[in-house]
Amino acid sequence: MSGLTIKKWFTAIVVTMLLGLSSVHADEQAPAAQVLDNLHQYAAVADWDNYFALYTEDAIFIGTDATEYWDMTQFEAYSRPTKGWRYELVDRKIVQHGNVIVFDELLDNRAYGVSRGTGTLLLTEQGWKIAQYHLSFPIPNKIAKKITDQIKAVKKDNP
């Protein structure tokens, strides 16, 4: 074989191996993505038993208000009386570090518009579980100062 042919052959093998590794990695992440899909589905229909089964026992939910830092007991007390909430997935990024996944997802909500969910999943004996979920409103830089001034004013009026 000529040097060029060997180079092409070697390159083809390396590319095939890398593609194989990335698809295995994506396959490993599919169950975690399903957990997040289920989270939004269960919340939309207020299926709280299945919703809270997706979290670890010591999980934390961080809401959009600065006071909303809840353990699961607190978050259940807030959630169970409601009829649920609907956030539609727009985009999601998942990064796996062994038995830990960090994620970032853009969501759409009829009342609030674009929201961002970020968090951590842990691989447990029962599969992937949410250890932390943080819901926030991404504020465009163009209006950030105006919004943060409004937040400061509300905080000043309601210490």
Q: Is the pLDDT score of 20 beyond 50?
A: no
**Could you tell me the residue ranges of all domains in the chain?**
3-157
Place of tokens 């691989």: 123
| Angstrom distance (rounded) from CA 129 to CA 50 | 12
Query: Which of 74, 81, 71, 60 is closest to 132 using CA atoms?
Result: 60
38-60: per-residue pLDDT in tens?
999 999 999 999 999 999 999 99
Strand order in the sheet with 127-136: 69-71, 55-62, 127-136, 113-124, 100-109, 88-97
114-139: per-residue pLDDT in tens?
999 999 999 999 999 999 999 999 99
- For residue 33, give both structure tokens: 């993505």
Q: What is the CATH number of domain 3-157?
A: 3.10.450.50
State phi, psi for 84 to the nearest 5 degrees.
Answer: 95, -175
